[in-house]
Structure 1
Amino acid sequence: MKKYKQSLFLLFMVFTAVLLISCTPEVEEEDDGKVSYTVKHLLHIDHDTYEVYETYTVSDIDVGSEVTLDALIIEGYEPKEKTITLTITETDNLIEFIYEPPTYLYELIFNGGNYWYETRDDMVDDWISDYNNFAGTSYTLETLPMTKETMLDIGQFMYEAPYRDKWLWLLRYLRVEGSSTNKSAVNALLNQPNYEAFIAHNPNNQFAASYEIRAFIKGKQFVDDPNFISSDYSQTSLKDGFWNFLIASQQNMFYDTMFEVTLPTMLYKEGYKFYGWYLREDFYGEPVTTIHQAAALYARFDGENPIDSIVIENEVEYMEKGTKWALDLTIMPQNASYTDLTYNIKESNIATIDENGVIKALNEGEFTLKIFGTNGRLLKELTMNVYPKDDIILTFNEGYNGFAIVGEQFEIELEGVGRNASSANYSFVVADESIVSMSEPGVFNAVKAGQTQIHIYNIDTLVMSYTIMVHETLSTETRIDQLLQLLASGHNSVATGFNLVTRYETTNEWRDPRHESVNTYLFDDLIIDSESYPMPPNLKQSGARPSTEFILVHD
């Protein structure tokens, strides 16, 4: 029995020891006041999606100490915080950097379209539906009353959320186009902060605004109250002139965009079909459905059966300066919805085009012809060149004055002008090589006195002949004697004298008789002007006569 008790006691002691050991808290490895912290770098890659770029743990850190870390430099991302400071605690020590892509701005150009309504009728039905929800009525366009004592709560409706923000564009339109008696009330409805202030501004506002709005919705003129007759919205220009105000109310500029955006696919324009968003104003290229960087996007609207292409039936490779070219166009398909075209040539100093598609080449150079549809869509783009008329230009070496002296050498450089001339293969041939010889192409030697021709060929075709004169070498004295003799023999002491009026008064004229001579050698044709040039009428009554100057031109 005693051994049994001893055994039982030992068993109890062992059990107690095991129990105490199992209940003793686990001691962390860092039992000397040291802990760790974790660092995470996360990339914000989509609206609610983050990706781990880097993570690590730092150990053996004192509790209560501070840790300061700087963000990483990651291409294509910006950190939300450039520096983070963490005070170390006993648990949950985490430093987390979040990196986001840079924001961008994009703009949607509606080109007359809008998000909400395909037709005016859709807009009208929506307004009536909103009013019915507000007033508990069940009006339709046909049953909407046009009497002066009904629907006077339209002012209250226009202040009610969420209708006010939705229909502010309508008030902006009617304060411009409303009647002279009603537009001030519409303006007050737009600008007064609440309905009470609207009524306090003028008690008649509730009537005038209600009448003007109903007239627009009905597409008629409100005449039931002669004091507040509305504009006549049966006129097409007033009835349908609201679109720009509606479009302006819809957001088209988007700031601080961070991720890829899917562009809206439902856009409306009465009488047209939406064909997507384009990165170019002329709708060149393919439409885009998403955007992930700064850009302007243009809404393309066209008919149900748009133009696919344009064929220039009489297309040419180039034009010659001074010529005209009338475009002969075929539109495909031939039953396209809208077939009016416009033309543009930016380089108007090179060529111009009129509204009928006739191009006129003005100067040498390159130009680009663009053909657009009625919606501004680029349908055809063509680059062309204008060439001058074919010709050749001869350039002589410095010092050559029209003739050569025996023993001299002269050079001729040839330049082709025009499309064909500039690419032609030219050669020189001397008619009489005993007078002039050619030592190499374009280099000539004067052999003896005489006259000959230098022929210029384009392959086998003669295009020009230049006459060259060669003189013997003359001494200075001999040359001067020859020139003096030549001038003396050509002298013509003509002449026809005339009186030069040097002073003019009402009753007197002073005359200076002159007798002139001229050398006929200096002129191809000698013409002496013996006309009288009196004082112009009413120019002067007395004093010196203004001079009459003569400019004599000869070759």
Structure 2
Amino acid sequence: VFKDTELEDITVKYNQKLTKPEDPIKEGYIFTGWIEVLSPNNIYNFDTLVTKDLTLEPTFIEITEFVVSFENVEKENLIVNKGNKLPVLEDPVKEDFVFGGWYTDSEFNNLYDFEKVLTNHVTLYAKWNEITFNVTLISHDNDILDIVIVKSGEDLTTLKSYERAGYNFIDWYTDGDLAVKARLTKPVLEDMYLYAKWEIRNDIVYTINHYLFSIADDEYLIDETVKKEGTPGETVYAEIKEYSGLMSEYPEYLGVIKADGSLVINIRYVEFNGDVKYHLNGGNFTYPTREAMSLDFLVDYNAFSGTSTTLVELAGFGNWSPLNMHLMLFNETYRTKWMWMIDYLGQVGSTTNKGACKLLKTASSIEAFTSNSDNNKYAVEYEVRGFILGIKYTKNASWMSSDYSVYETGNGFWNLFVAQNEDTNYTTDGSDLNLIEDVYKEGFLFKGWYYDSDLTIRAISSVNRGCDLYAKWEADNPLTEISVLNPVSNLDKLSEYQLDLGFLPQNAFSKEVKYSSSDETVLLVSKTGLITAVNSGVAVITIKSASSDVSTSLTINVPVVSNIVLDVSSEYNGVLKVGEEFSFIINKTGIYENENVTFVSTNLDVLTVSELGVVKGVSEGNALVNILAGNNAFMSINVCVKNLSETTDIDKLLKLLVDANQPVVDKINASLYFDNFSAYQQYYDATYGSVNLFLFDDLNLDRTTYAVTPKVGTNTGGLMSSVEFITVHDTANLSGGLAGHGNYWLTATSSIHFTVGDFGVIGNLPEEYIGYHAGDGTSATFAWTDTTVQSNGKAPVIDISADGYFTFNGTKSSVKAPTGNGGKILDSSYFTSLKPTWKIGENNNYFIGTTYFTTSQVSRGVIANHGGNNNSIGMEMCVNTT
């Protein structure tokens, strides 16, 4: 047994020697030998034969001084007393080397720690690093080819050269301008940069293959291969061979010589074709400017009408006469020439006018054109005027034109003009065909004809074979910069700000710009640059050239308005019944967003109010609810509580009036007067606001003066099967007043039941007859359809399921909702503000009226109730504006 060591016990045969183990180590001590525990005064002799069990114990002598020796450096040993640290040593010096530190191993893996207290002898190894310098080798394009590490004092005579495809290496230079050649025999004593100089080769080979079609092999085969030489990067043109009855597939063949010699130009020869096609790329052969086109139209117009009208005089024409543009455009002398214009206006004309322009193109005669609608002549007249003048024609608000001052709309016709009026196809029999040089595109300079649409291979002055020719244009004095002269970064909500723009150059061809907002719920911007901050948030206003890609933008923040807005839940109508509840709805913004709002009833015997703003009627009476933001009262609401037993007539009457009351009135009907969609694109709520659903006024009804006689097929569709709707129109002529509109119905082919005006109500068509007024036609039959959804006795929440069925209070019905364009399944955002009509049937199920999808008055489309003509009483409203 080896006591006080990590040595394992061993077994020795009787009368054999014990093998001496390795000397044990104890830090700070020297091992002196093994002693037998039973004989502690004698060092054990390992030559002794073992005849019994032994326990050996190591003995040590404590070291009080440690020797520090050194390797890789001439330095005397140091003696350090036990318990002390080795003092930090001065760095030794060695020529052409830099001292790298003291290590405890010869492999220099363990750096010596001078903060360590010595507990044993130690040998320190000095590490030496050779002094080297970086020589950075730079290529022709300032890329680093390599970084060579050179020992101090060595030279660069062994520095290799580097290859560059298509070039011969010349030498190394010390400057980027390649003016000072490097001395590679000079010793390197610092970091340095060397620049490679190459000389381009002019013997790089490229290949030209001439292919002919082989009937026997049914493929193109090489007829001849030609090798040429040139310099890398050089653009070379292949010489085209002449074969009888053939021509090269393309008029020109070119390529760029590659440094590795891999350029191959393949030329195929095909049967001769002499068809030449011009592609004008927005230009034309006839009119240098848009104004020239307009003046040419006036020449024809004056010849037709026997007048001498100028553009200024055309702009001064009245809003009703003369009306003869449609007549001119049916005259064969001018119809063919200007058919492109008729076609274009049918595509881009205003909503009110484009239909008439399309009809002008397809109608076989003037009679066919005017018999469709007498209004067609107005629509064509004003659309043509707007187009020729390059403006938005607004003199007659009923037939306003598109805005042709907008560059895209005013100049988008050129390709259509070329397609219908210009001869762009020519033929050559192989002789030279001179290229047309009189080519126009307003605001651009003609830069020649090219064989490819990428405009890389130019045709010179003539061609003798079939090909496509593409016009190249270069902007003449183009707009290069748009700047905002009065930039803004913050706008208050509901404020307006007019942008002021600057342009470079100031006399640029077109300075027309388009404005857009990244978020129109935050910022709106008009076509003149008037910004309106409509809500809080951040949006980007972009100003882009109408004729190029030049643009600029500015980011504008609309801070949140600090406010507390109070609303009430829908069940409250101004009177609270005993035992019933309603809720205050609080919307906090800005600095009030985190403000604590509390509610306090001034009379708990009349009503209570919870922390969440739920008000409950306790007994009859009046009480104030004080609403506090933090510790400050900002509003008090008077609440009337009534106990309506409905047992007496007066209580029943009071309940009727209470239920008809509407405490919150928030309705709007608006049309944008100067909008292409003014007749259709309205922003409205289809109900009229009132504090009470009852009108306490005298009914001044005249059923005789303006009554019409029902005539089936003329002003009525016959007797009405049932009355399901009241259809209110607010589109009457404002200038005529009630009497004027009453007279209108006496001779009109449309009809309505009542007209409401400034001094009373007149009855026109008897109520039992179908009127011609609602716009959905007499073929639309109204019907009630059982949804199979049981009612809860209240107004339902109607929606549309993901697979396109109406839902009532979240329950899917058996009735499929109308789909949008292309069969698109819609959602409830497509409902009109009146929503689908419904009722509760005798079986207590919800029933839904007939609905349909229509885009006739809202371009996005809506799901509307069907049956306005056949099943509604029509009312027209008008006022006398004088």
> 1 or 2, which has the higher helix percentage?
1
Which structure is higher in RCO with an 8 Å CA cutoff and minimum separation 6? Answer: 1
TM bin, normalised by shorter chain, reads 0.3 to 0.5
**TM-score computed with the length of structure 2 as normaliser:** 0.24
Q: What is the TM-score of this pair, normalised by structure 1?
A: 0.35
